[in-house]
Structure 1
Amino acid sequence: MNITEKQLIRAIYSTWDFQQALSALTFLLEDCDFGAKHSHVELRRFRCYESTLIISMARPFETTRGGTTIGLRALGISLNQEQKTLVDRVLDLRRKIVAHSSEEEMHFRISTIPIDDGRFNLPHFQFNERLHLEEKELRQLEYFLRYLKHQMVEFFYKVAQEQPELLDRYKEPSSRGA
């Protein structure tokens, strides 16, 4: 087995990230009728699911402070071009919109509403409440996440057979914040 200790730890934790992403996606697909009109509150709930999906799915592909990523090649997992494009799309959304606020991607309208015969102006904010991903992309992500989970199960099954001592561990955070 040609995998470093850091890659193994990252792969172990990535299984949880992918499960989180798939759960958020499942909740979104179950709750959202893509042909219906939804209230702002419902749309925000869907965006919460979508944000969790994006952050959780992207996390394994981003470099950690320790300098590792999931390292799919070390796990024997390869992606086709369509899958790579999907990962890039999710990473781009995470980096520019969901986890950070890129000024180029901000979308809002603010105006003032005069009240009390124009003596006061009330600011009124409007934000884009739509999902960032289309239903077709979400379905592709569902298939892709299931593929990744399956591939990782196969990898860890192989490790469990060939080097079970690598998987007999308990890891907790090295620092516990207040």
Structure 2
Amino acid sequence: MGAKLSSEENIDLLKRLVIAHADLQTALSAITFLNDEVDNDAKYSKIELRKIKCFETAFIISYGRAFTNSKGRYQNLPLKRIGVKLSDNEKIMHRRIIDLRNKVYAHSDENFAHVRLDIHKRNTTEFTYHIPHLQFDEGLVFHDFRDRLEAMDLIRKIIHYLLTNINEFAQKNPGISLYLRPVQN
């Protein structure tokens, strides 16, 4: 874990690493499920696409949680702090996922929304009424097989560095145990 930190700082960093590991394992599972479900030559119904889109959403949200602000001393996962050096392609993929998380998946950014509302007029013999017809983009962002593989490799690389740091901490602090659980409201 590199530079000398106080015991409290070490525990705070360890908490962030453990939480990030859980998030990235979920992201890896979700993109693996997405990869298993998608056949680029298949035609899917809207319902099938929505199911598949759930995996993509879980992947992007879970991945992004490790790199966005949260409560605690280490508000996001410091890649440099754990020794991760990303290639140019990995940096592009990382930034792409984070941007998608921030602008499309975790927030509804009007500049990136792909939705439509049409109002259809219907006349009957007794009255006229208007029917709203709502549509939204049903497509996948990670429809390309190579993109999914690159994302999976990126996640595995970061998980490797997380585990390396956690292992280093364990070797230096064999008596420490960490258990985090949700705070009851």
TM-score by length of 2: 0.85
Give the alignment's Cα RMSD to 1 decimal: 1.8
SS at match of 1:30: helix
C-alpha separation in 1, matches of 2:118 and 2:84: 50
Task: Pick one of 74, 87, 104 that aligns with 1:80.
Answer: 87
Per-residue deviation, 1:150: 2.2
Residue 38 of structure 2 contacts residue 143 of structure 2 at CA under 8 Å; is this kept in 1?
A: no
CA distance in 2, matches of 1:163, 1:83: 32
CA distance in structure 1 between the aligned counterparts of 2:116 and 2:123, rounded to whole angstroms? 23
Cα offset for 1:163?
2.3
TM-score, length of structure 1 as denominator length: 0.89
Q: How do residues 35-114 of structure 1 correspond to structure 2 at under 5 angstroms? A: 35-66=41-72, 68-114=75-121
Aligned counterparts of 2:92 and 2:42: Cα–Cα separation in 1: 29
1:33 aligned residue: 39
Asked if structure 2 preserves the Cα contact closer than 8 Å seen for 1:40 and 1:129, the reply is yes
Find the counterpart in structure 1 of residue 151 from structure 2. Answer: 141
Higher RCO (Cα < 8 Å, 6 or more apart): 2
* TM-fit CA distance, 1:116: 4.4
One-letter amino acid matched to 1:106:
A
AA aligned opposite 2:77: I
State the identity as a percent. Answer: 31
Deviating above 4 A after TM superposition, structure 1's stretches of 4 or more consecutive aligned residues are none
Q: Structure 2: any 5+ residue segments left out of the alignment?
A: none
Indicate the SS of the match to 1:111: strand
Shift of 1:120: 1.7
The letter for the 2-side match of 1:124 is H
The alignment of Structure 1 onto Structure 2 pairs a total of residues equal to: 175
Tell me if the contact between 1:58 and 1:87 (Cα under 8 Å) persists in the aligned partners. no
2:33 corresponds to 1:23? no
Consecutive unaligned residues of structure 1, counting only runs of 5 or more, are none
Q: Does 1:121 align with 2:130?
A: yes
- In structure 1, give the amino acid aligned to 2:130: N
CA contact (8 A) 2:84 2:161 kept: yes
Q: Deviations over 1:4-43 (max 9, x none)?
A: 3322211111110011001111111111112211000111
CA contact (8 A) 2:64 2:101 kept: yes
1:134-172, CA deviations, whole angstroms, 9 ceiling, x for partnerless residues?
Answer: 422222101111222222222222222232234x12222
Corresponding position: 1:158 with 2:168: yes
